[in-house]
Amino acid sequence: MAKDKMMLYKDYKIVKSNELINSKSRFTLMQQRVILLMTARIKPTDDDFTTYEIPISEILGLTPNEKVKGSQYDDVREAAVGLTNSAIYLQKGEKWKSMAFITVAEGEKGKNYITVQFSPQMKPFFLNLRNNYTSYFLKHVFSFKSAHSIRIYELLAQYYPNIRQRKFDVEYLKDILYVGDKYSRFFDFKKYVIEASIKEINALSDINVEYELEKRGRKVVAMIFYMSANERTDPKLLEQDRSASSAIDESEKNEAPQVVEVVESIKAKPHTSQPESSQDGKYQIKPETAQKLAEKYGQEIVDFYIKCVNDKKEVSNKTGYLITALKNEYFHKEYKSHINTQKRRKLKSDLEREKLNYENRLADISKDYELYLKDIKNRLIEEATLDDEAEYLFDLEMSSNSYVKKFIPEWESGKPSELALGFYGTWLIQNRLTDEEQEICGSLKSYAIWKYDFEIKE
């Protein structure tokens, strides 16, 4: 189903102001999805908000062939109502502002959509954006299972690919993600928020993220994130997707709240098209020479050798040294080790992505299976006759199971509990359905194969 979702949302583009991304907000995953689908419906030429009609099936990430269950509708309604009571919080120095996010959310049970409307105060963050904004495709975040993953993705994708390194103060991250004292220990925050989010981002989005810690003494005070194109993504498409938001306003760098060293972040270089320069202003490696060498030896190996040559501070003519190094394979051993490391990382990433996709698919199917069983039992109970009930009570009386016998007084009183009705529903499945239908209802494994052609691993 994850693949179906990717196809369903492939053309939805999200455009937000960077000020909004840097704001504090506490939205659930369902609320984030509502906001993203509202945002995707804004056109570049819009001067005002309208009322947006959002299909519930899209909020839930269902495919066109899947139906919305009753409890799923309740989850969406709860999320939408919660949004009308939610706000974002902005702070610059001593100035702060809190604003409602949406003003209207309404729906009707039985209809497969809700209608929602942004608060007028949100206009500067979504409409007529010319600079200082971030854009990305919805497909890169919609399969995430955590609201934190979406927030962290947006923070890291904010200036990408122009800036591929960002450093954040730990306390700032905790504050903007609204984790409060829930993860007072840094170990727990790193494991359950940061690493869990990075795992999803690397497996499901267009960027790959690594990080390292900065310590002051024994205390971790900051986290440095390194972003690169996910190997599943066409780099040309990636550059095109983000080209509109790649120009970074200097004032915006200075205003990004509590973001440490944005200006020092490493900017992306289109391979060797930009020369490295020394402190005295002289070129270390001539770009035209590097380009010719790339044509002869290959771009990847030349990029690696350039890095090795630039690390040699004692070399004065780095262009000449690069030519000699490539000809005589000075760094061949290191390059082979680098390639092997890249292969191991890719294999690990592929395995993690495969595992995460499997776990996400299994979780979706498990939830659907529970709803399916509930619907089957409710239908059978509604269709059951007094004769069915009499036969069931007789079976209870004859049963050697003392646990189920305790439900007899409930039935005799005419007020069976939900638990008693659940056992009755199971009995009806076993006695009123065909063998094939019983097999489907009897196990998640059988249901997964029947409904989704999905095989559950032992």
State the pLDDT at residue 9: 54
Q: What residues have CB less than 8 Å from 39, skipping those under 6 apart? A: 14, 15, 16, 126
Buried b (16+ CB within 10 A) or exposed e, 220-231: eebbbbebebbe
Identical fold, 1-143 and 144-268: yes
Alpha-carbon span 72 to 114, nearest angstrom: 13
State the pLDDT at residue 241: 52
Alpha-carbon span 100 to 106, nearest angstrom: 16
Q: What residues have CB less than 8 Å from 51, skipping those under 6 apart? A: 104, 115, 116, 117
* Right CATH for 144-268 from 1.10.10.10, 3.40.30.10, 3.30.930.10, 3.40.50.9100: 1.10.10.10
Least confident piece of the model among 61-75, 77-91, 125-139 = 61-75
Q: Which of 67, 48, 65 is nearest to 56 (CA)?
A: 67
User: What three-state secondary structure class fits 328?
Assistant: helix
State the CATH class of domain 1-143: mainly alpha
State the pLDDT at residue 34: 94
Q: Burial of 322 by CB count in 10 Å (0-12 exposed, 13-18 middle, 19+ buried)?
A: buried
Tell me the pTM.
0.59
Q: What residues have CB less than 8 Å from 372, skipping those under 6 apart? A: 441, 447, 451
Q: Report residue 288's pLDDT band, with 50, 70 and 90 as the boundaries.
A: confident
Q: Is 162 in contact with 248 (CB distance < 8 Å)?
A: yes
Quote the tokens at residue 252: 């915006």
Q: 157 vs 96, 133, 170, 318, 455, CA distance in Å?
A: 25, 11, 18, 34, 35
Q: 429 vs 159, 315, 378, 392, 420, CA distance in Å?
A: 56, 80, 11, 12, 14
The pLDDT tens digits of the residues spanning 351-386 come to 887 888 888 889 889 988 999 999 999 999 999 999
The size of the chain, in residues, is 458
The pLDDT tens digits of the residues spanning 380-403 come to 999 999 999 999 999 999 988 888
Quote the tokens at residue 436: 């094939």
Mean pLDDT value of segment 141-157: 92
The structural domains of the chain, with segments of one domain joined by +, span: 1-143, 144-268, 287-330, 341-452
Q: Which residues pair with 227 in a beta bridge?
A: 209
